[in-house]
Amino acid sequence: MRTAIYPGSFDPVTLGHWDLIQRATKLVDRLVVAVLHNPAKTSAFSVEDRVAMLKELVAPLPQVEVTSFHGLLVDFAKSQNAVVIVRGVRAFSDFEYEFQMALMNRKLAPDLETVFLMPKEKYSAVSSRFVREIGSMGGNLAELVPETLRERISARLAKG
């Protein structure tokens, strides 16, 4: 069974994330969507909220699991018997950072591959940061976040 890890902050989950989850499921037998605990970052949503939203979103996909982790990604990947890390790239600036990270992960875990996926073009400008900014000002998130989570995300971001 080929297992992949799709790590991220998902703060909040966007349509770009959802697009990549669906694309990644076509490449592996098991996909673990892993929410990173990052104490250095101030988040709009708790890790528990992000995990809950992602679980709700991926419920129709039995090969997808959602969990959280802290520490080194390569250690988490090993604990999940993963052979692939899935990373999304929207622009060249994303690729530059992700490429460096992939090289370091390869140094730490030579048997773990990184696969870069591009979202559909219509999601190439969508980021969690933009969603947080737009949502905090009461903007329309209709084309940015999954419909099933939109009301919850909008309400939380409007509270500040």
Catalytic residue ranges: 17, 41, 90, 128
Where does residue 66 fall: left (phi above 0), alpha (psi -120 to 50 degrees), or beta otherwise? beta
* Nearest one of 151, 87, 93 to 125, comparing CA atoms: 93
Is residue 76 packed enough to be buried (19+ CB in 10 Å), middle (13-18) or exposed (0-12)? buried
d(CA 7, CA 98) in angstroms, rounded, equals 12
Q: How many of the other CB atoms lie within 10 Å of CB of 19?
A: 18
Task: Give CA–CA dist 102/106, Å, rounded.
Answer: 6
